[in-house]
Structure 1
Amino acid sequence: MSLKDRITDDMKAAMRAKDSERLTTIRGLLAAIKQKEVDERVVVDDVGVVAIVDKLIKQRKDSISQFNAGGRPDLAEKEQLELQILEPYLPQRMSAEEVQAAVSAIVSELGAAGPGDMGRVMAAVKAQLAGKADMGLVSGAVKRALNP
């Protein structure tokens, strides 16, 4: 079963259970998937769905920090609930040690040295680790690998 089918089944289950928060969040996710399919005239596969979920999670995290800074814990709590609903759709994330090892391997493979190669290394790392690791963690690992 594809990830998109699983999300659709979860939406149906949320409808049956009358779980309005879960239903709203999942509908938003499916709308984002459909929007990408319509805009780019493609059928989104599991990798594309993971990228969309990752983007939505990043938006939720940004919103939570903004709402907390603005003194709106009620809205931050709502975003946190949506974050918890979206996270199970991501694959198991790599640990910091695994990310560091993968980045080190890519840096040595590319023969990169110094901060000037950051863009080239990030492009290679992003292609290999997209959806598997938190890109903020990856960026930090690349910086450490290129700055001895």
Structure 2
Amino acid sequence: MIRDDIKAAQITAMKAGDKEARAAISLMQSAIKNRDIEARTGKAPDSDDALIVEVLQKMIKQRRESIDMFVKGGRQELADKEAAEVAVIERFLPQQMDEAQTRAAIDAIKAEIGAEGMKDMGRLMAELKARHASELDMSKASGLVKAALN
């Protein structure tokens, strides 16, 4: 389980004296804990790993947005810090599908559900997310889905 891997990495980082990795892992654990609390009141994902992957993908997205803003603002040292955190977080995510694999998955689902036009985009995205959420960046996948439906 990803949760156990994160705990083990925290211990390893503490023993190694790796302050950057330890700080990033602490942030991950905090975000996961917050999501656990939210899941108590709402509908929790089917598996614990799905919940954690969702949290980690959100953290990476936030950091990439921060990197863009820091670079535009001329604060390269802060952008480098965020990039280091992204590298630590990505170690715990499952292997992501490349563009060709994503297109193949979209085409398979499109054929399966009989999607023909943009009116079917919601159904196609929902099915794609249900099957491949942990392996995809859904924001990138939406562009590919639009292209496949046009």
Instruction: Compute the TM-score of the two structures, normalised by the length of structure 2.
Output: 0.91
Unaligned runs of 5+ in 1: none
- Aligned pairs for 1:1-148 (under 5 A) are 2-41=1-40, 45-147=48-150
CA distance in 2, matches of 1:70, 1:115: 38
Kindly report the root-mean-square deviation, in angstroms, between the aligned alpha carbons of the 2 structures. Answer: 1.5
Specify the code of the residue in structure 2 equivalent to 1:12: I
Q: How many residues align?
A: 146
Specify the code of the residue in structure 2 equivalent to 1:105: A
State which drifts further: 34-43 or 91-100: 34-43
Specify the code of the residue in structure 2 equivalent to 1:123: A
Specify the code of the residue in structure 2 equivalent to 1:22: A
Summarize deviations over 1:32-59 as a string: whole Å, max 9, x none. Answer: 1111112222697111111111111111
Specify the code of the residue in structure 2 equivalent to 1:140: G
Unaligned runs of 5+ in 2: none
Instruction: Compute the TM-score of the two structures, normalised by the length of structure 1.
Output: 0.92
The Cα shift of 1:121 comes to 1.2
Percentage of pairs with the same residue? 42
CA distance in 2, matches of 1:66, 1:118: 31
